[in-house]
């Protein structure tokens, strides 16, 4: 991790006009910015940077995902905007145990819409050595420092939220903080922008954020088109063993490295059995 961090501390600003955001993201981003203002008032970026300098190194997400075979990123997500509460009283300790076969854990850091929060990273960091992927709606370097200070090894950046040079700027901020980044895209144009910005780990979201429609075939097609050097992750909608079987065949051909699964595990009566039922053990 770099020994010097010199990121400025600007006021929180929306990355793009609200009316250009997908309908599912607009209210979430608005709430994110309001939460960001409160968090910055409570703890400064300088204080977070000072804390990060004293923290031990974190495991590499990319190294974990590049192991042979299809790797699993198991997600802790108490609720979602589209489905409401996924699991009442979800406990990190239960899911840390259930998710032991996973290469990495994804932890929702959005408080209002997903029932998560940066504090969950600290809880999971005390329960597992697996790399933790902070999943949220990151539009400001402060948020990246916040999740790194809570134990994240990587952060998810949504390409559609970060137009122009902003994605590259956020990737640079990740590097300065000792964070890796998983850049989420949905279509070919976003994938090209992510690669041009320097993304090394790219996640293809099967869910269209405008319509919420899930197209697993389109997701797999785009994954297969990404450069061989890219670490590739399939995101959203994978719930059946047959779908995992297809991805395993793709992994054998170097077309995908990992799959991110959350809802299927969060809603299962026995999360550990659900993980095993999809072939991860």
Among this protein's residues, is 242 annotated catalytic?
no
Among this protein's residues, is 77 annotated catalytic?
yes
Nearest partner of 256 among 96, 121, 69, 30, judged by Cα: 69
Determine if residue 187 is left, alpha or beta; phi over 0 gives left, psi from -120 to 50 gives alpha, anything else beta: beta
> Is 70:247 a contact under the CB 8 Å cutoff?
yes
Catalytic residue among 106, 123, 236, 239: 236
Catalytic residue among 176, 235, 239, 243: 235
Among this protein's residues, is 205 annotated catalytic?
yes
> Is 262:74 a contact under the CB 8 Å cutoff?
yes
Catalytic residue among 75, 123, 180, 243: 75
Return the structure tokens found at 68. 């042979």
Among this protein's residues, is 82 annotated catalytic?
no
Among this protein's residues, is 232 annotated catalytic?
no
Strand, coil or helix: what is 209?
Answer: coil
Nearest partner of 234 among 252, 253, 257, judged by Cα: 257
Catalytic residue among 123, 180, 205, 243: 205
First-last CA distance in the chain: 32
Nearest partner of 55 among 174, 141, 147, 180, judged by Cα: 147
Catalytic residue among 106, 123, 135, 176: 135
Among this protein's residues, is 192 annotated catalytic?
no
> Is 155:184 a contact under the CB 8 Å cutoff?
no
Nearest partner of 195 among 159, 151, 153, judged by Cα: 159
> Is 161:140 a contact under the CB 8 Å cutoff?
no
What is the bridge-based pairing of β-strands 231-235 and 79-80? unpaired
Catalytic residue among 123, 176, 184, 190: 184
> Is 104:231 a contact under the CB 8 Å cutoff?
no
What CA–CA distance (Å, rounded) separates 255 from 75?
22
Among this protein's residues, is 106 annotated catalytic?
no
Return the structure tokens found at 128. 């597992």
Catalytic residue among 77, 106, 176, 239: 77
The residues annotated with a catalytic role in the active site are: 75, 77, 135, 184, 205, 235-236
């Amino acid at each position: 991790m770099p020994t010097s961090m010199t990121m400025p501390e600007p006021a929180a600003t929306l990355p793009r006009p609200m009316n250009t955001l997908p309908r599912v993201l607009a209210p979430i981003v608005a709430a994110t910015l309001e939460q960001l203002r409160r968090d910055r008032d409570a703890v400064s970026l300088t204080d977070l940077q000072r804390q990060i300098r004293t923290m031990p190194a974190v495991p590499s997400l990319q190294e974990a995902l590049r192991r042979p075979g299809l790797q699993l990123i198991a997600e802790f997500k108490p609720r979602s905007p589209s489905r409401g509460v996924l699991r009442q009283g979800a406990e990190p300790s239960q899911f840390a145990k259930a998710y032991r076969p996973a290469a990495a854990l994804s932890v929702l850091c959005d408080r209002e819409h997903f029932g998560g929060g940066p504090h969950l990273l600290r809880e999971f960091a005390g329960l597992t050595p697996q790399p933790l992927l902070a999943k949220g709606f990151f539009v400001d370097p402060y948020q990246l420092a916040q999740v790194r200070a809570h134990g994240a090894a990587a952060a998810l950046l949504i390409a559609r939220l970060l137009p122009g040079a902003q994605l590259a700027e956020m990737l640079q901020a990740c590097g300065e903080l000792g964070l890796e980044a998983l850049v989420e895209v949905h279509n070919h144009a976003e994938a090209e922008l992510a690669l041009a910005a320097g993304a090394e780990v790219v996640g293809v979201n099967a869910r269209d954020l405008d319509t919420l429609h899930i197209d697993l075939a389109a997701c797999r097609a785009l994954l297969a088109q990404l450069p061989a050097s890219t670490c590739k992750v399939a995101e959203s909608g994978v719930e059946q063993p047959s779908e995992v079987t297809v991805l395993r065949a793709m992994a054998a051909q170097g077309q995908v490295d990992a799959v991110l699964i959350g809802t299927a595990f969060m809603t299962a009566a026995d999360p550990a059995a659900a993980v095993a039922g999809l072939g991860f053990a």
